[in-house]
Amino acid sequence: MDMSVTFGDEAVAAEASVAVRKLVEEGVPQALSNGDPTLWGPEAEAEARVRLGWLDLPTTSRALLPELVKLVERARAEGLEHVVLAGMGGSSLAPEVICATADVPLTVLDTTDPGQVRRALADRLDQTIVVVSSKSGTTVETDSHRRIYEKAFRDAGIDPAGRIVVVTDPGSPLERLAIESGYTVILSDPNVGGRYSALTAFGLVPSALAGADVGQLLDQAAEVRPLLGQDDGNPGLDLGAALGAAALAGRDKLVLDDSLSGINGFPDWAEQLIAESTGKQGKGILPVVGSDPTDADDEIVVGVDTEAAVQVDGPLGAQFLVWEYATAIAGRLLGINPFDQPNVAESKENTARILREAGDGPLPTGTPTLVDGPVEVHGDLPEHVKDLPGVFTALLEDIPDRGYLAILAFLDREAAFDVPVPQDASFELITDIWAAHDPASLQGLLAIRTERPVTFGWGPRYLHSTGQYHKGGPQNGVFLHLTGAVQNDLQVPGRPYTLGRLELAQALGDLDALRKRGRPAVRLHLTDREAGVRHLLSAAREV
């Protein structure tokens, strides 16, 4: 088996081995492998009873393969080359990493940004097949994408029934709707939670349609599965013990480094698994993705196929299973229920309330505290702050010991790639131009100004991932939300709002939840998106 967990740091190894010994004495590795729901205490038991199905997926998901072969053959025969996936959190992050790793194209819609959705709609609608993936069948973003694509197909004279494939849990409202609409429905295993669903239909259906070899993923997972019952040479146990022991010792910022890995985008998937599973009751592990280690004493670096304090090597299918097992182990060590997400609903409810109360009127954005060029600043700031560099400085100074800054961008994730580049530009020049227009560049620019971790998330995608940790985990985060004016909005058919209005209401809803906890939270609103991003980045360079 080519899956292994090794330690590049002796102190981390020693600490992990103490935790392993304790877990082995308690019979945990075997019990978890057998699906024992009592491992997280009596309060978690009822939920754990219906959340451990992921342990069996390397075998049970095989049953899906013949159905997937047929679906793929039909799509190919009909020339449906453009695969769009509408899904949030666990329902999109696994297919995203599977397809990026297999180097097959998949358009992922886990956004409410109208520009990003319009770009997908404008791309080969006549050859598009849309996978609508939602376990609950009620997620507002995914429901909006379905409505928008149904209308777009109808407007183009295309019958949506031939173009929409639904993946959901048995009995969900989406299953009912799909049956009534004549859509292809593939049901998932209801005993697996969203973030553990990589090897269910949620991970496999869109990936197979996009052209990935999903049978191989199951083979890789099946190969590592027997090791998960062992006391020795159990990579899930070793990783979980290392993560849990480090967090208990105060090293609860998990820097994920995949710089040498052939697996593309794994940290984004691991982030939602770990943040949503552990970030609750004031405890948790904060994944830090896309930032260099800072050597702070509350940090542990884990490498995916990359040298680090803890190094996790192996193929993607095995990595999924090992990280899921490890998260369940870390959850036990931390004393939390790794299968619920008690605080995700808060921001959602705030958003629904904001939309309802606003009716047809403007959303309650308030008046800006100050305006700097194309950027409005909303939020409480010290009086001496007069411009954007001052805002950044104030936020960085506000990060408490052991705290972090989270940048949360409710913007178009792909807009930077639309910026025209000179025809003869070198690859370096092109990436420089992109970086100069990419809001995500703010992470690196602010990270070098502080010893504390700086994370970056796209909204509303992070609400289904680190959003749980921000609200339920240790209360030491400082938050910077980015929103932007919408040029060409998109109505959500059958709903009294546009995507742009929903996107802004989602940002406001999350801000309400964070401010209610007394967390410092500032919103920067770009009145002109492109100029605003450039202005933000140049202000960050001046800090």
Binding residues vs ligand G6P (CB under 6 A): 88-91, 134-136, 139, 142, 194-195, 276, 341, 344, 464
| Those residues with Cβ within 8 angstroms of residue 484's Cβ, 6 or more apart along the chain or in another chain | 410, 411, 412, 525, 526, 529, 532
Minimum distance from residue 195 beta carbon to ligand G6P (Å): 5
Whether omega before 496 lies within 30 degrees of 0, making that bond cis, reads: no
Q: Which is nearer to ligand G6P, 140 or 245 (CB)?
A: 140
Minimum distance from residue 53 beta carbon to ligand G6P (Å): 15
Q: Which is nearer to ligand G6P, 52 or 399 (CB)?
A: 52
φ/ψ region of 43 (left if φ > 0, alpha if ψ in -120 to 50, else beta) reads alpha
Q: Are 77 and 189 in contact (CB under 8 A)?
A: no
- Residue linked to tokens 């998330």: 457
Please name the amino acid found at residue 533. V
Structure tokens at 472: 């339920």
Minimum distance from residue 143 beta carbon to ligand G6P (Å): 9
Provide φ and ψ at 288, rounded to 5°.
-120, 115
Provide φ and ψ at 409, rounded to 5°.
-105, 110
Helix (H) or strand (E) run with residue 460 in it: none
Is 426 exposed, middle or buried (CB count within 10 Å of its CB: 0-12, 13-18, 19+)?
exposed
* Spatial CA neighbour of 221 closest among 322, 124, 110, 302: 322
Separation CA 238–CA 540 (nearest Å) = 40
Minimum distance from residue 324 beta carbon to ligand G6P (Å): 13
Q: Which is nearer to ligand G6P, 89 or 287 (CB)?
A: 89
Q: Which is nearer to ligand G6P, 319 or 468 (CB)?
A: 468
Structure tokens at 157: 């004279």
Q: Which is nearer to ligand G6P, 135 or 481 (CB)?
A: 135
Q: Which is nearer to ligand G6P, 209 or 447 (CB)?
A: 209
Minimum distance from residue 506 beta carbon to ligand G6P (Å): 12
* Spatial CA neighbour of 523 closest among 369, 334, 321: 369
Minimum distance from residue 134 beta carbon to ligand G6P (Å): 3
Separation CA 17–CA 431 (nearest Å) = 43
Q: Which is nearer to ligand G6P, 339 or 497 (CB)?
A: 339
Q: Which is nearer to ligand G6P, 190 or 211 (CB)?
A: 190
Cα torsion 172, 178, 180, 183 to 10°: value is -160
φ/ψ region of 226 (left if φ > 0, alpha if ψ in -120 to 50, else beta) reads alpha
Minimum distance from residue 274 beta carbon to ligand G6P (Å): 12
Minimum distance from residue 341 beta carbon to ligand G6P (Å): 4
Minimum distance from residue 139 beta carbon to ligand G6P (Å): 3
Q: Which is nearer to ligand G6P, 101 or 139 (CB)?
A: 139
